[in-house]
């Protein structure tokens, strides 16, 4: 049990958790000097995981909820890192984006780079791959359902699979093609910001709902699923 997150699975090699929205994953210099509870601090101080970054293998943004796997020993860490690097890990996210996203199934292949005017966000860098200006980023999506009513703009409820794992990739990609994630405080249009405030959503509608990878010791394929948290589920309903 943990007061910070739900534990989905645990053994001697790894920990699979359901990260809540609002929990910062990695400690930056400011967090390291403060009393802010980050996932990294919790894993090191309370779970006694004596590994770089507390065994964290991949990240979720602070206000993105959902599944994460954490290594508990060095062999598991190296194995999982290699699985992520070779794209063997399958991650599916659920998102709600502003607008009617068409076609219903597609791929976004737009390189991303840091915004020189705001180092905390990323911007599209079309046609530039793996150089000083941008890094390749590939996102696949499929529309689960279109949402519309007389008092609501067009919205698209989608599944998202990322082929690469760039910072803010999903949020930056959908913003780049004109369909920002509902509730996103950074990657937003004027209309999406107005709508997000109207419905009272205080974070991006983005949830890591499925995670599949091979167990680092046994090689067994592990598949985990996480339901939408209550704030996002209530919004859909």
Whats the size of the chain, residue-wise? 237
Residue 95: strand, helix, or coil: strand
Give how far the C-alpha of residue 202 lies from the chain's centroid of Cα atoms, to the nearest Å. 16
d(CA 224, CA 69) in angstroms, rounded, equals 10
Instruction: Find the largest Cα–Cα distance for the chain.
Output: 55
d(CA 189, CA 179) in angstroms, rounded, equals 9
Is 61 among the catalytic positions? yes
The residue from 11, 13, 31, 61 that is catalytic is 61
Cis link prior to 210 (omega < 30° from 0)?
A: no
Q: Where are the beta strands (DSSP E) in 74-204?
A: 90-98, 105-109, 112-115, 118-124, 138-149, 152-162
Number of CB atoms found within 10 A of residue 28's CB: 12
d(CA 87, CA 3) in angstroms, rounded, equals 32
Cβ-count burial 207-219 (b if 16+ within 10 Å, e if not): bbbbbebebbeee
- Taking the CA atoms of 73, 214, 8 and 96 in sequence, report the sign of the dihedral they define: positive
Active-site positions read: 61
């Amino acid at each position: 049990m943990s007061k910070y997150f739900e534990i989905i699975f645990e053994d001697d090699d790894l920990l699979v958790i359901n990260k809540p929205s609002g929990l910062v994953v990695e400690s930056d210099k400011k967090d390291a000097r403060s009393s802010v509870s980050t996932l990294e601090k919790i894993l090191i101080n309370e779970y006694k995981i004596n590994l770089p970054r507390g065994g964290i293998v991949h990240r979720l943004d602070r206000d993105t909820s959902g599944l994460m796997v954490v290594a508990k020993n060095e062999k598991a860490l190296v194995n999982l890192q290699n699985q992520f690097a070779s794209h063997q890990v399958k991650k599916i996210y659920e998102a709600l984006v502003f607008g009617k996203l068409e076609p219903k199934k597609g791929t976004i292949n737009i390189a991303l780079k840091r915004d020189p005017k705001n180092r905390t966000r990323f911007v599209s860098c079309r046609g530039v791959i793996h150089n000083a200006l941008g890094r390749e980023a590939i996102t696949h999506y499929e529309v689960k359902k279109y949402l519309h009513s007389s008092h609501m703009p067009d919205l698209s409820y989608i599944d998202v699979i990322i082929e690469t794992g760039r910072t803010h990739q999903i949020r930056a990609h959908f913003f780049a093609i004109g369909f920002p994630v509902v509730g996103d405080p950074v990657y937003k249009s004027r209309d999406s910001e107005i709508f997000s405030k109207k419905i009272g959503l205080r974070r991006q509608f983005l949830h890591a709902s499925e995670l599949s990878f091979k167990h680092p010791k046994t090689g067994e394929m592990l598949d985990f699923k996480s339901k939408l948290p209550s704030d996002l589920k209530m919004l859909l309903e």
